[in-house]
């Protein structure tokens, strides 16, 4: 009785000798592994979905919002400082090195009417470089020509949904819409972009920023979006923005948020959630391990005479120990593999049933699951294997 | 055989194999404990949120400027028609259900005293704000009652602001600068901790008219309307919407009731609790499988015993009942151990985090216990049937 092959043969022989019993032990582990794989896959899928949502506007983005959020809450929601965030501020930022695009943004909701139809939609006051900065595409017509952002012409570019709701299939270019009582001429229609975290960004209208400020009677911008050249300069650009605006305002009464920082925070949160859910599902893995421990304990009791015989013809304690460990490991690894397969199967079925559900299983998860099930088997085999190895050969032979 | 005999028989079988019985128990106990603890956590979070909302009163209408038909979050960005102080006054006069009307503007600004300065949230409010938000003053007085359109150069500050700006000094009566305006401190808020994510300690409250001038705002951030009783919420809401529609020419505000917000939160957290409980419940199924395995072994070991029972005239159904009793006993004991374990875990949690009113909901306790029992019986069925089907003669002849 030597060599890995003998060991494996004996272990597998024991596993197959009690088919139903082994199948049930495996099933316990399989359920645990499958639920961990499935839940972490959903978590990972959700994380990727959200990251994709954020990065659809580009990754080299930074936003400046009024108000310094030192204590709590979301910056910019409260807004309102005595020194306003102005279009001049935005223009001064555009001159910083490493900055590619600057979009001053003022937004609000307003009732928009045309064709006898009306609806309340988001109105964004922006500058004409917005398609480049936000990675939007214009389907028809164009944005207004670049010029002095302080002068707001009465022109608007409609989001595709807003256009469809107001004009149907008819041509909208050159027609007039009434936004909160003021007349705007439609000069462009955007390409569909879809949703952003539940916000329908296609149901909106874009007007010159000065027009929006006037329309909403806003004293200042809601935010300034800054696009920088590449990730390498982001630190310097952020520093420059802080220095320049602090100098202009007399103090740092604004908040600079980089896309990367936001994504990092978000990634962290999602990872913690995924881990927590995985850990809760992992409880069933623990229960499955206890099941294997029980069955192995029983097996040692049943095979006492066999163990005595093996010891009598020269098997060492270490070999007996290894034998039972191998049996437990074989049981749980097979269960783990089964669990991975069924987890992936259920994930695939889920994707068919609910197409919107983001599910993603990285290879690392699969490898980890198999490794964990192997470790589980070894751990739960330790006690029974010790018990078997500690048996006195003569006493063991004498049983029954 | 009497039911007592069944119990004695099953108990004997279980106590004969102590370790294996204990291990099966532990499996079931872990499952039940996980369900109980996690649902208790979820329920605790739900109650915490509801308490937080209840602490500022549930008879509140919140009027937010702007209305969008598609997007979810109202009050982001500006609206074409401002929600003005005059709107607030009209509501106070013409809506009889409105007991208190509290207009609000919010901004962030530096509050400075001498060389020290601190960026804080500055809230423009009125006398009513104190009661609507259930704030407590530690000393001094709150904003004076009176016409809401009249501004005064006075401010009420939070604990943190008072400590940071006036270390070792009395803040009351001092003059601070808020965004270049000089205001006299007339009150300091007591420390209530964080209320619904708003740090009440780190803020300054000024009269709403002053706040609007300070931030150069013409529109209010929010308008809070408190009604006398919960039943008046719906009619008051309809009246407020109608009145503002008349004044603005169109419906351009969103009116939220505190109940609706609470109900939504409560629902979301309830679903979360259920989901987490269900995930933990998977381990109950695994524990059931463990019990089934042990029972199978038990049947195999006692083949001769079963044969003997059958030979002395015990029927198949009774043999089935014997083994089912054993499985049920095993799972019920595991369930109760799990309950005890989960209960102590929850007690420990409450001891460590007294703010979280964690306690397992009754449905979760009953469901976990019931599931454990059903689980044991269900998974005990196969081994018990195997025992009942044994041929008496062959069983007796087996080694």
B194 neighbourhood in chain A, CB within 8 Å: 72
Task: Give the contacts of A13 (CB within 8 A, at least 6 positions apart).
Answer: none
Contact call for residues B155 and B202 (beta carbons, < 8 A): no
Q: Return the number of other C-beta atoms located less than 10 Å from residue B208's C-beta.
A: 28
Residues of B with Cβ-Cβ distance to A27 under 8 angstroms: 289
Nearest CA in chain A to B71: A199
Rounded (5°) CA angle B245-B75-A76: 150
CA dist B387 and B62 (Å) reads 68
Point out the residue among B27, B108, B119 whose CB comes nearest to the CB of A80.
Answer: B108
In angstroms, the CA B202 to CA B160 distance is 5
pLDDT tens per residue across span A101-150:
999 999 888 888 888 887 878 889 999 998 888 888 888 888 998 888 88
Q: Give kind and range of the element (H or E) at residue A112.
A: strand A99-114
> What separation, in Å, do the N-terminal and C-terminal C-alpha atoms of chain B show?
26
Do residues B286 and A283 make contact, with C-beta atoms less than 8 angstroms apart? no
Residues of A in contact with B216 (CB under 8 A): 82, 84, 219
Rounded-to-integer distance, Cα A54 and Cα A199, Å:
12
pLDDT at A306: 84
Calculate how close chain A gets to B178, using CA atoms only, in Å.
9
**ipTM, two decimals:** 0.70
Residues 287-306 of B with CB under 8 A from A: 287, 289-290, 292-294, 296-297
DSSP H or E stretch at residue A185: strand A182-190
What is d(CA B273, CA B260) in angstroms, rounded to the nearest whole number?
A: 20
Question: Is the separation of the CB atoms in A363 and A322 below 8 Å?
Answer: no
| B contacts of A293 (beta carbons < 8 Å) | 23
User: Furthest-apart CA pair in chain B: how many Å?
Assistant: 103
A227-238 b/e (C-beta count within 10 Å ≥ 16 → b): bbeeeebbeebb
* Nearest CA-CA partner of B236 in B97, B50, B389: B97
pLDDT in tens, A317-347: 888 888 888 888 988 999 999 999 999 998 8
Q: How close does chain B come to A3, measured CA to CA in Å?
A: 31
Q: If DSSP codes are grouped into helix, strand and coil, which group holds residue A227?
A: strand
> pLDDT tens, position by position, for chain B (399 residues)?
677 777 787 777 777 777 888 888 888 899 899 988 888 888 888 888 887 777 666 788 888 887 655 444 444 455 566 788 888 999 988 888 888 899 988 887 888 888 887 878 889 999 988 888 878 888 889 988 888 888 889 999 988 888 888 888 888 889 999 877 899 999 998 876 555 556 677 889 999 999 888 887 778 888 889 888 878 888 888 898 888 888 887 777 888 887 777 787 888 888 888 888 888 888 888 888 888 888 888 888 888 888 888 888 888 888 888 888 888 888 899 999 999 999 999 888 888 887 777 788 888 888 888 888 888 888 888 888 888 888 888 888 876
Q: How many CB atoms sit inside 10 A of residue A5's CB?
A: 8
Question: Is the CB of residue A158 less than 8 Å from the CB of residue A205?
Answer: yes
CB contact under 8 A, B108 and A217: no
- Chain-chain contact of B80 with A181 (C-beta, under 8 angstroms): yes
Pairwise CA distance, residues A215 & A236, whole Å: 36
Q: What is the pTM of this model?
A: 0.72
Establish if B71 touches chain A: CB-CB under 8 angstroms. Answer: yes
- From the list A295, A26, A300, the residue with the least C-alpha distance to B297 is A295
């Amino acid at each position: 009785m030597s060599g890995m092959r003998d060991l494996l043969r004996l272990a597998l022989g024991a596993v197959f000798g009690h088919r139903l019993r082994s199948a049930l032990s495996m099933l316990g582990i399989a359920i645990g592994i499958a639920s961990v794989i499935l839940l972490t896959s959903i978590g990972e899928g959700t994380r990727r979905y959200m990251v994709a949502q954020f990065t659809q506007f580009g990754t080299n983005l930074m936003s400046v919002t009024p108000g310094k959020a030192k204590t709590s809450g979301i910056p910019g929601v409260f807004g309102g400082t005595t020194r306003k965030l102005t279009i001049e501020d935005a223009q001064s930022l555009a001159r910083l090195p490493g900055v590619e695009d600057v979009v001053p943004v003022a937004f609000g909701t307003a009732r928009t009417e045309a064709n006898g139809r009306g609806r309340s939609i988001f109105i964004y006051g922006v500058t004409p470089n917005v398609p480049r900065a936000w990675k939007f595409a214009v389907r028809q017509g164009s944005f207004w020509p670049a010029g002095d952002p302080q002068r707001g012409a009465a022109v608007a570019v409609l989001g595709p949904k807003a256009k469809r709701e107001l004009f149907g299939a008819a041509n909208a270019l050159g027609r007039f819409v009434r936004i909160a009582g003021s007349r705007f001429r439609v000069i462009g229609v955007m390409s569909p972009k879809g949703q952003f975290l539940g916000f329908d960004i296609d149901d909106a209208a874009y007007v010159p920023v000065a027009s929006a400020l006037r329309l909403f009677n806003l004293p200042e911008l809601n935010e300034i979006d800054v696009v920088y050249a590449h990730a390498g300069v982001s630190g310097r650009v952020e520093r420059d923005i802080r220095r320049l605006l602090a100098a202009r305002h007399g103090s740092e009464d604004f908040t600079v948020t980089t896309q990367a920082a936001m994504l990092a925070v978000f990634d962290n949160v999602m990872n913690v959630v995924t881990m927590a859910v995985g850990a809760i599902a992992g409880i069933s893995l623990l229960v499955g391990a206890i099941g294997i421990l029980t069955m192995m304990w029983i097996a040692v009791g049943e095979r006492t005479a066999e163990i005595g015989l093996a010891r009598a013809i020269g098997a060492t304690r270490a070999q007996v120990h290894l034998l039972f460990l191998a049996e437990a490991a074989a049981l749980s690894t097979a269960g783990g593999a089964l669990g991975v397969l069924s987890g992936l199967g259920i994930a695939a079925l889920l994707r068919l049933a609910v197409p919107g559900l983001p599910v993603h299983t990285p290879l690392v998860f699969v490898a980890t699951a198999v490794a964990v099930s192997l470790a589980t088997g070894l751990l739960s085999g330790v006690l029974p294997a010790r018990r078997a190895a500690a048996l006195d050969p003569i006493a063991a032979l004498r049983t029954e | 055989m009497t039911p007592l005999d069944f119990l004695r028989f099953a108990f004997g079988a279980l106590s004969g194999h102590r370790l294996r019985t204990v291990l099966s128990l532990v499996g079931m106990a872990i499952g039940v404990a996980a369900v109980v603890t996690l649902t208790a956590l979820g329920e605790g979070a739900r109650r915490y949120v509801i308490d937080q909302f209840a602490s500022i009163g549930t008879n509140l209408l919140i009027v937010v400027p702007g209305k969008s038909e598609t997007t979810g979050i109202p009050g982001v960005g500006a609206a074409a028609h401002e929600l003005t102080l005059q709107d607030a006054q009209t509501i106070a006069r013409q809506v009889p259900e409105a007991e208190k009307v509290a207009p609000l503007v919010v901004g962030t600004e530096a509050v400075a005293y001498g060389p020290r300065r601190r960026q804080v949230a500055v809230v423009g409010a009125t006398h009513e704000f104190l009661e609507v938000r259930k704030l407590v003053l530690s000393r001094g007085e709150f904003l004076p009652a009176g016409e809401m359109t009249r501004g005064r150069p006075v401010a009420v500050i939070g604990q943190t602001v008072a400590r940071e700006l006036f270390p070792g000094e009395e803040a009351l009566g001092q003059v601070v600068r808020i965004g270049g305006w000089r205001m006299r401190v007339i009150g300091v808020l007591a420390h209530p901790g964080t209320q619904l994510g708003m740090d009440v300690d780190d803020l300054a409250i000024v009269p709403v008219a002053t706040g609007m001038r300070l931030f150069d705002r013409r529109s209010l951030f929010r308008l809070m309307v408190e009604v006398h009783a919960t039943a008046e919420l719906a009619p008051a809401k309809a009246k407020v919407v109608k009145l503002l529609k008349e004044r603005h020419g169109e419906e351009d505000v969103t009116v939220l009731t505190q109940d609706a917000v609470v109900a939504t939160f409560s629902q979301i957290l309830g679903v979360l609790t259920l989901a987490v409980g269900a995930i933990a419940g998977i381990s109950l199924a695994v524990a059931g499988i463990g019990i089934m395995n042990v029972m199978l072994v038990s049947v195999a070991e006692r083949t001769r015993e079963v044969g003997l029972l059958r030979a002395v005239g015990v029927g198949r159904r009774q043999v089935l009942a014997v083994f089912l009793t054993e499985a049920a006993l095993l799972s019920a004991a595991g369930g109760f151990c799990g309950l005890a374990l989960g209960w102590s875990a929850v007690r420990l949690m409450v001891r460590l985090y007294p703010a979280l009113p964690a306690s397992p909901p009754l449905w979760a306790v009953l469901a976990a216990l019931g599931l454990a029992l059903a689980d044991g019986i269900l998974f005990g069925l196969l081994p018990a049937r195997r025992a009942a089907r044994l041929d008496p003669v062959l069983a007796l002849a087996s080694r």
